Amino acid sequence: MVCVDETIKLSVNGKFVNGISQSSIKKGYLCLESEGAEIQFKNFRIIELPPGVTSEEQTAKKVF
């Protein structure tokens, strides 16, 4: 998944499968799921945005 400004794009195995544009929500949680079977993730990276890209209200609080 790639989120840039107001656009979110979801790809599976390098192929675009879903997306949204003009999203006003910039905070929330990340959820990983499978469709009723065991799943494994490989080369999974989360990159923190640099300061100033989002406001405090647009950023979810850390829960860990």
Residue 57, helix vs strand vs coil: helix
Q: What is the pLDDT of residues 17-32, one digit of tens each?
A: 999 888 776 667 777 8
Q: What is the pLDDT of residues 1-58, one digit of tens each?
A: 787 778 888 888 888 999 988 877 666 777 787 888 898 888 877 777 677 766 777 6
Q: What distance in Å separates the CA atoms of residue 10 and residue 4, rounded to the nearest whole number?
A: 12
The residue extents of the domains of the chain are: 1-58
Q: Enter the tokens of residue 21.
A: 């544009």
Identity at 9, one-letter amino acid code: K
